A and B are shown apart, each in its own frame.
Chain A
Amino acid sequence: MAEEYLSVTVDKFQLRVRRGLRYTRDDVWVQDAGQAHRIGITDLAQRMGGDIVFVDFPGWDAFKEGEPLATYETIKAVLDVKAPFDCEVKAFNERLGEKPELINEDPYGLGWVAEVASKGPAKGLLTDQEYFSFMKEKAEAETRKLKGADDD
């Protein structure tokens, strides 16, 4: 049986991409379930952002592709969960209000952010393999930047 995740180790961190989901270059994953889609942020996103202290949901439910349908705050920054396509939110993961760390602990499972209905075509979503390649490059670039690595 194929493993559930594609994974790569960068320094001491294992970064995972869950098979069978679709992805955006904004590090959002999409799980298709008929008319509805469950979405969240990827392992890379939660790792780069750091420990999530707050998750905030706006007071409305209609979003254009790319608009932030939720924000999450870490020590480092306030970051957006960007809508993967035009959509209407049917449910936000209310548990994140009390336990935002669920996103860090289980980004593809209990740390889901919202369930949405699409209101337009989902263009340009990546397959798991495509996102895995994208993620590896991004992670390695970030590591090089942080460490100021150079070759003599």
Chain B
Amino acid sequence: MKIRPKVGVVSCSGECCSLGTLSRVATRLILEGVRPETVTLCLPLFLAGDSGEREFAQRFPTIPVDGCHKQCAKKAIEKYSGSTAADVVVEALLEEWGEKAPANRRVLGEADVELAERVAAEIAKRIDWVQGGQDA
């Protein structure tokens, strides 16, 4: 029997540019089907909520999904809970793939959704790596 530790995922959901939208959609795709066993944490609740988000990120490996180099999700986890298990920065991924950020930060076109799916696949790789699996 493989024991797979719980993993938290936190998106920056940044509003200022479409990278935040991509990070949000990719994180949602993870929750909805790619890796439904993960726990999605809500970033604003790290500061404004009761301790649920912060305590989860303290106890379980948590992966920030950030839109840009400011890496707000990573910084929030480190500030309020502890170190992160792995990182995803959408801006860096797009640069690696030679892709441009979506033109519209509110509405994603078909090609943009495909980009989000590719980002979700990267998040999934990191989840799988973190979970590793220990034989019981």
Find out whether A and B make contact in their complex, taking CB atoms under 8 A apart as touching.
Answer: yes
CB nearest to A149 among chain B residues: B37
A151-B55 CB under 8 A given contacts A12-B39, A146-B36: no
Highest count of chain A CB atoms <10 Å: which of B2, B37, B53, B55: B37
**How far in angstroms is the closest Cβ of chain A from B28?**
15
Dominant SS among interface residues on chain B = mixed
User: How many A-B contacts are there with CB distance less than 8 Å?
Assistant: 26
**B39 adjacent to A152 (CB under 8 Å):** no
Dominant SS among interface residues on chain A = loop
**A11 adjacent to B56 (CB under 8 Å):** yes
CB nearest to A152 among chain B residues: B2
**B37 adjacent to A147 (CB under 8 Å):** yes
A11-B37 CB under 8 A given contacts A151-B1, A151-B2, A152-B1: no
Count of chain A residues near B, Cβ 8 A: 11
**A11 adjacent to B2 (CB under 8 Å):** no
In this assembly, does B6 line the interface, its C-beta being within 8 Å of a C-beta of chain A? yes
**B41 adjacent to A12 (CB under 8 Å):** yes
Rounded to whole angstroms, the CA-CA distance of A93 and B19 in the bound complex is 46
Interface 0/1 of B34-59, CB less than 8 Å to A: 00110101000000001011011000
In this assembly, does A35 line the interface, its C-beta being within 8 Å of a C-beta of chain B? no
**A148 adjacent to B36 (CB under 8 Å):** yes
**B39 adjacent to A11 (CB under 8 Å):** yes
B2 CB contacts on chain A under 8 angstroms: 151-152
In this assembly, does A60 line the interface, its C-beta being within 8 Å of a C-beta of chain B? no
Rounded to whole angstroms, the CA-CA distance of A141 and B13 in the bound complex is 30
B1 CB contacts on chain A under 8 angstroms: 151-152
A152 CB contacts on chain B under 8 angstroms: 1-2, 133
Rounded to whole angstroms, the CA-CA distance of A96 and B6 in the bound complex is 36
**How far in angstroms is the closest Cβ of chain A from B61?**
14
Interface 0/1 of A80-107, CB less than 8 Å to B: 0000000000000000000000000000
A12-B37 CB under 8 A given contacts A151-B1, A151-B2, A152-B1: no
**24 contacts across the A-B interface (CB closer than 8 A):** A9-B52, A9-B55, A11-B6, A11-B39, A11-B56, A12-B8, A12-B39, A12-B52, A12-B53, A12-B55, A12-B56, A13-B52, A14-B52, A146-B36, A147-B36, A147-B37, A148-B36, A148-B37, A149-B37, A151-B1, A151-B2, A152-B1, A152-B2, A152-B133
**Apart from A147-B36, A151-B1, A152-B133: 20 A-B pairs, beta carbons within 8 A:** A9-B52, A9-B55, A11-B6, A11-B39, A11-B56, A12-B8, A12-B39, A12-B41, A12-B53, A12-B55, A12-B56, A14-B50, A14-B52, A146-B36, A147-B37, A148-B36, A148-B37, A149-B37, A151-B2, A152-B1
